Amino acid sequence: MLPERHVSIFRNGSNQAIRIPREFELEGTEAIMRKDGNRLIIEPLPKPDRLLTLLQSWEPMDEDFPAIEDPPVSHEDIF
């Protein structure tokens, strides 16, 4: 676990901001922030290719999906 750091909170226009020290830098240019009680949790936005990489690593399924009856909606069901 990385050590704690004391950081200053400052104003940037109408937003409150902090500078992230080098040892806490996140990958990419975007992050997700959420509040958990009085804690702020900041996580890097997942890279879009991670899901593709995961899906490519899976073996194909030998089973066929069952047929699903999906008739068009009748006129009476729309109104």
Res. 77: pLDDT tops 70: no
Q: Is residue 36 part of a domain?
A: yes
Q: Is residue 31 part of a domain?
A: yes
Q: Which residue range is the domain that position 41 belongs to? A: 7-58
Res. 45: pLDDT tops 90: no
Nearest 10 degrees: CA dihedral of 51, 45, 40, 2?
90
Res. 14: pLDDT tops 90: yes
Q: Is residue 39 part of a domain?
A: yes
Report the number of distinct structural domains present in the chain: 1
What's this model's pTM, rounded to 2 decimal places? 0.51
Q: Is residue 68 part of a domain?
A: no
Q: Is residue 26 part of a domain?
A: yes
What is the reported pLDDT for 75? Answer: 75
Q: Is residue 23 part of a domain?
A: yes
CA distance 23 to 18: 14
Q: How confident is residue 50, by pLDDT bands cut at 50, 70 and 90?
A: confident
What is the reported pLDDT for 28? Answer: 83
